[in-house]
Amino acid sequence: MVNVHKIKLDICDIGRRIYNKGFAAANDGNISVRISDNEVLCTPTMHSKGFLKPDDICHIDMTGKQIAGRKKRSSEALLHLEIYKQRPDLKSVVHCHPPHATAFAIAREPIPQCVLPEVEVFLGDVPITRYETPGGQAFADTIIPFVQKTNVIILANHGTVSFGESVERAYWWTEILDAYCRMLMLAKQLGGVHFLGDQKSRELLELKDGWGFSDPRNTKEYEDCDICANDIFRESWKDAGVERRAFDAPPVASAAASGNDGEVDQEALVKAITDRVMQELSQGAR
């Protein structure tokens, strides 16, 4: 039997954590937990997530209609409900505005892969949606192309949404993503990012598979992809205005780089070949 009061306490706890981390200023963010096929608990609108009490939590159905609760439900509940509809296995959704990940949302800069082992294992490729005004069904629908292949999504010019089998696990993915985005920014200030490379990254994917974490790059559909090149969601970049500006593609990805229209980037290809030739000539001269 579902312990509704315990779940409300868990929601309040995660609310305090996202507030204290600076992921939800003022009344930003919203949290939900699905408690049955047609019932969801969610945070109220216009209420700081850092000071929630169990009595503040709203009770809604899968259409968004409020069943119970003394405060009005979150205005972005439709986003949560669409995720539950697309992924019946999920039990919780956390949406907030972590500053470093949201910076990538604002810049529409793809999250580099093959850099940090923990990120490869827990996150993988992280998509960025196209922008829609928050609150309506059109906004909720922006996650549909991605929700089956990831547990965390960057919402263009908005924030992040993550989801999992518990409210704690749903929150984890956002915390990992924001910490990683901060590290990337710091590394950029120090001069750049060094990539793990294809082979070492494939070793991490093997570990990930052994530990029971799914990753599209481990499926037959993507067995021949360049796993470090953000290949899983690249087709969505043009529609969402996503483009590499701050972080270059990994060396292997650069040689086979594709533009937003899927064509080979000739300039990147020529540069990669030239760099390789110069490297060989330099070694031969020693």
Give residue 278's pLDDT: 63
**3-state SS, residue 26:** coil
pLDDT of residue 203: 93
Same-domain pairing of 264 and 154: no
Q: Please tell me whether residues 243 and 166 are part of one structural domain.
A: no
The residue count of the chain comes to: 286
Provide the angle, in degrees to the nearest 10, between the axes of the packed helices 4-20 and 167-190.
10
Do 206 and 241 lie in one domain? The reply is yes
Q: How many CB atoms lie within 10 A of CB 43?
A: 29
**Pair 57, 169 in one domain:** yes
Query: Are residue 152 and residue 213 in the same domain, yes or no?
Result: no
pLDDT in tens, 240-277: 999 999 999 988 655 544 444 444 455 655 666 666 66
pTM here is 0.87
Q: What was the pLDDT predicted at 260?
A: 46
Do 251 and 124 fall within a single domain? no
User: 252: buried, middle or exposed (CB in 10 Å: 19+, 13-18, 0-12)?
Assistant: middle
- At 281 the pLDDT is 64
HSE-CB for 49 with a 13 A CA cutoff:
29
Mean pLDDT, the chain, whole residue set: 91
The last residue of one of the domains, among 173, 190, 207, is: 190
- Out of 190, 224, 241, pick the residue that ends a domain: 190
| Residue at which a domain ends, from 161, 190, 219 | 190
The CB density around residue 56, as the number of other CB atoms within 10 Å, is 18
Find, among 37, 96, 43, the residue nearest to 66 by Cα.
43
Q: What is the pLDDT of residues 35-87, one digit of tens each?
A: 999 999 999 999 999 999 999 999 999 999 999 999 999 999 999 999 999 99
The mean per-residue pLDDT over the stretch 96-123 comes to 97
- Residue 141 sits in a domain of what CATH number? 3.40.225.10
What mean pLDDT comes out for the span 86-113? 98
| Residues 161 and 204 reside in one and the same domain | no
User: Is the same domain home to 182 and 40?
Assistant: yes
Boundaries of domain holding 88: 4-190
Count Cβ atoms within 10 A of the Cβ of residue 202 and give its class: 0-12 exposed, 13-18 middle, 19 or more buried.
middle
